[in-house]
Amino acid sequence: MSPSGAAGAGRLPPPGGSSGGSTTGRVGPGRHCVAFLVYDGVTLLDVAGPAEVFVEANRFGADYGVRLMSPTGDDVVSNLGFRVAVDGAVSSEPAVGTYLVAGSGLFPRTSVPRDLASAARVPAAGAGRVGSICTGAFVLAAAGLLDGKRATTHWQVAHELASRCPTCTVEPDAIYVRDGTTYTSAGVTAGIDLALALVEEDHGADVARDVARALVVYMQRAGGQSQFSAPLQGPPPRTPALRKVTDLVTADPGGSHSLGDLARHLGVSTRHLTRLFHDELAITPARYVESIRFDVARAALDQGHTATEAAARAGFPSYESMRRVFARRLCMSPTAYQRRFGTTRRTPTS
């Protein structure tokens, strides 16, 4: 718990803090109003995490006022079953400085209700900047607020967002994306990353750094969403020949899988094999082999194998070649990845 907040149960109190004055209700002159759109089923952490960042920033000289809005002005029930008190309906909210739409596990399993999409447009029209947390991007997309823009969402549903908003360029590996005055963030805790970026935009790096330290979070985490994603998965290739090659690589990642070797295995030209990979998987054969080896190595690290063992199991020619792939894909070394994701247990200090 941060120095400025307190936890409760049952009915969630409006976000506020003992330092920096009240942050809810009426937003006084000069205050930067941060308004969250909430609704039944909203993910509580999508609201509480970013809100805590703005409230904490008030301890370091910022002047944010946080408001919660629902489509009708009625209180809502979060995904955890807690009732969340709101400050009013979107139709009664004056122009806000920052307008954020929280996500929900309901999306993308179901389509965004028309009344929710319509409600999302109301404050967006007058907001200085508009953003979403996690699957809140689906609400923005349904409201037409992501048309022609770059955006991101949780890596597990990025493909669905791209399908629902074909004019939007979805960046599945980004922690957050800014396109003009529109901001979208990745899954759940990435809303904290986005809020810190907004604080830095408003008040500079020093204030954002102070907030990050107070909340004991990274000011900017290394890498993108791929460091949290599951191993490479996707539909099998439609072409039997290409499926034969991908099955071969998956079954024996450490085998000899040069472009020439794979082409000879199928009895086709290297140009034809490259075209098959490009047309069906949008990747080169070499990158596909690398992806499989990367996933095998990451799984080995997760299981507790050393980096050298992981490189050998995955078929990398050397540890150094594996390290270069990890650095390019995750912006960290295999050893750093294992420290971060291998266990939640901390080494005791003397």
151 shares its domain with 255:
no
* 220: amino acid identity, one letter: Q
Q: How far apart are CA 105 and CA 135, in angstroms?
A: 8
301 shares its domain with 207:
no
Q: What is the extent of the structural domain holding 22?
A: 11-226
Choose, from 33, 134, 165, 168, the residue flagged as catalytic. 134
43 shares its domain with 89:
yes
Q: How far apart are CA 333 and CA 60, in angstroms?
A: 34
| 169 and 151 Cβ atoms separated by less than 8 Å | yes
Q: Is 168 assigned a catalytic role?
A: no
67 SS3 class: strand
Report yes or no on 139 lying in a domain: yes
CATH number at residue 217: 3.40.50.880
Report yes or no on 148 lying in a domain: yes
72 shares its domain with 188:
yes
Q: Give me the number of domains the chain comprises.
A: 2
What angle do helix axes 240-251 and 270-281 make, rounded to 10 degrees?
90
* Residues of the chain with confidence (pLDDT) below 70: 1-29, 92-94, 218-236, 341-350
pLDDT of residue 218: 67
Which of the listed residues 160, 193, 226 is the one where a domain comes to its end? Answer: 226
Report yes or no on 4 lying in a domain: no
CATH number at residue 296: 1.10.10.60
Q: List the structure tokens of 163.
A: 């399908």
pLDDT, tens only, 163-216:
999 999 998 878 889 999 999 999 878 899 899 999 999 999 889 988 988 987
- What global pTM score does this model have? 0.64
Please tell me the number of Cα atoms within 13 Å of 215 on its side-chain side: 27
